[in-house]
Amino acid sequence: MQYYSTNGKAPIADLHKAVVKGLAEDRGLYMPESIKPLPKEFFDTIETKTFQEIAYTVADAFFGEDVEAEALKKIVYDTLSFDCPVVQVNDNIFTLELFHGPTLAFKDVGARFMARLLQYFIRMEGKGEQVNVLVATSGDTGSAVANGFLGVDGIHVYVLYPKGKVSPIQECQFTTLGRNITAIEVDGVFDDCQALVKSAFMDAELNQHMKLTSANSINVARFLPQAFYYFNAYARMKALGKADNLVMCVPSGNFGNICAALFGHAQGLPVKRFIAANNANDIFYNYLQTGRYEPKASRQTLANAMDVGDPSNFARIINLYSENGQLSPEETHQRITSLISGATYSDDQIRQAMRQCHEATGYILDPHGACGYQALVEGLKPDETGVFCETAHPAKFKEKVDEILGIGVDIPARLRAFMQGEKQSTPMTKDFADFKHYLLTQ
Ligand SMILES: *Cc1c(COP(=O)(O)O)cnc(C)c1O
């Protein structure tokens, strides 16, 4: 499969190059040249298949041309060593629990898949040159990427995170690992971390010095595997006889997760429509209302993994529905709004949604999932069934959840183990010159 850049000014890349480079030379995002529709027979019997079987079929459509079949199967099966169950919350609302992986957040799947795929390509190449992964995180990406890549030969990971703006539990998940993982504590906000990473990729001297790649959801190997979830959710809903008029609702920040769902839709996944649920960072919501995309500085909220003021994957969504720029902005906007609606919630509304859900159903939401739940409560039509993603385990935001709901959320053993480690991190300013100097001395 060939990958082109959303900015249209970079050379076409193969999968290996797209994964290693992350971002194209023109700062655009890589897009697969075609999206193969899956055959009708696949959907006819999908409910009889396991998550791993379903995921392999989806992965084969995206990556089958570039990765040897047995190796791809192994990558998929290794990545999905845990389940993503669908749980009924009330009459017509279900949740897709994406938090049963090693770090209890949905990014585990993309991160681990990318680590395995990169390792596959490094081994195929056989040059033994170290690859350095740079990743900016507002909380959950860092832990998922660090754990996905931990101990993988030939790859070193630098996690950049905003000082004081990630939860203590999140922080210990990527600052206590050591080995091939370095945590960098940036005196700034998430967007500063993201800007440092983007500048590093564009810096010729740095790229001479070391081989750099990104593991943010701009990387095709990280965001695309998230499509697996939605096929699995559809299968499980079909098994329950609830797959008609399905609405998928995705709490969104950088829009990688929902973008993968939309790629799934383009492969033929029978979902009626999608909702992108946001916290107070309402850039996409405003785009849907006005047709204008106006990035802003990110705002800090209770759902901090979604505090993004300029969502990277917006460019992919526009590219997908404009058919690589062939349709006008008006037509593109019209296509997008006919399939996707938006919602935006203040911290107070998030708290209320968490309380209302807990009282009415007993289900404990985390602040991110709460946006998804609330968007379905407000947005579902009587003949529709809704599935929202619960993107993190509530224990990852224990202080907030306990306070809001007046309960004591149990901390799973996996999470407790991280909290025993010792924090190690390198302080950094948000000035690119400092970061560059640091990397040049590594
Ligand atoms: C990353 C994250 C999100 C947002 O996902 P995007 O792919 O960036 O839209 C939502 N919830 C949690 C818990 C996350 O970690």
Q: What integer best gives the mean pLDDT of the chain?
A: 95
Q: How far apart are CA 320 and CA 78, in angstroms?
A: 30
Ligand 1 atom nearest the C-alpha of 369 is 11
Q: What share of the chain is helix, strand, coil (3-state, %, to 5)?
A: 50, 15, 35
**66 alpha carbon to ligand 1 midpoint, in Å?**
28
Please, are residues 106 and 217 in contact by the beta-carbon 8 Å criterion?
A: no
pLDDT of res. 290: 97
Mean pLDDT, residues 404-421: 92
Q: How far apart are CA 187 and CA 427, in angstroms?
A: 8
Ligand 1 atom nearest the C-alpha of 396 is 13
Residue-wise pLDDT tens digits, 266-278: 999 999 999 999 9
Whole-model pTM?
Answer: 0.93
Q: Is the pLDDT of residue 114 over 90?
A: yes
- The residue nearest atom 15 of ligand 1, judged by CA position, is 140
Testing ligand 1's pocket by substitution, the residue of 135, 302, 368, 400 carrying the most ligand atoms inside 8 A of its CB is 368
In this prediction, residue 170 has a pLDDT band, given cuts at 50, 70 and 90, of confident
**253 alpha carbon to ligand 1 midpoint, in Å?**
5
256 to 29, 138, 407, 417: CA distances (angstroms): 12, 14, 32, 29
Testing ligand 1's pocket by substitution, the residue of 29, 96, 107 carrying the most ligand atoms inside 8 A of its CB is 107
**Amino acid (one-letter) located at 368:** H
**29 alpha carbon to ligand 1 midpoint, in Å?**
18
Ligand 1 atom nearest the C-alpha of 223 is 7
Q: Is the pLDDT of residue 128 over 80?
A: no
% of the chain beyond a pLDDT of 90: 85
Ligand 1 atom nearest the C-alpha of 366 is 13
Helix (H, G, I), strand (E, B) or coil at 344: strand
CA torsion angle 280 284 290 291 (round to 10):
170
Testing ligand 1's pocket by substitution, the residue of 230, 257, 366 carrying the most ligand atoms inside 8 A of its CB is 257
Residue-wise pLDDT tens digits, 295-324: 999 899 999 889 999 998 999 999 999 999
Q: Which residues form the pocket of ligand 1, taking CB atoms under 6 Å from any ligand atom? A: 105, 107, 140-141, 217, 251-257, 305-306, 368, 391-392
Q: Is the pLDDT of residue 217 over 80?
A: no
The total of other beta-carbon atoms located within 10 Å of residue 176's CB is 19
Please, are residues 15 and 67 in contact by the beta-carbon 8 Å criterion?
A: yes
**423 alpha carbon to ligand 1 midpoint, in Å?**
24
**201 alpha carbon to ligand 1 midpoint, in Å?**
23
pLDDT of res. 126: 83
List of residues 6+ apart from 63 with CB closer than 8 A:
1, 15, 72, 117, 224
**96 alpha carbon to ligand 1 midpoint, in Å?**
14
**5 alpha carbon to ligand 1 midpoint, in Å?**
23
- The residue nearest atom 14 of ligand 1, judged by CA position, is 305
**190 alpha carbon to ligand 1 midpoint, in Å?**
13
Q: Is the pLDDT of residue 336 over 90?
A: yes
pLDDT of res. 119: 92
Q: Is the pLDDT of residue 371 over 80?
A: yes
**252 alpha carbon to ligand 1 midpoint, in Å?**
6
**127 alpha carbon to ligand 1 midpoint, in Å?**
35
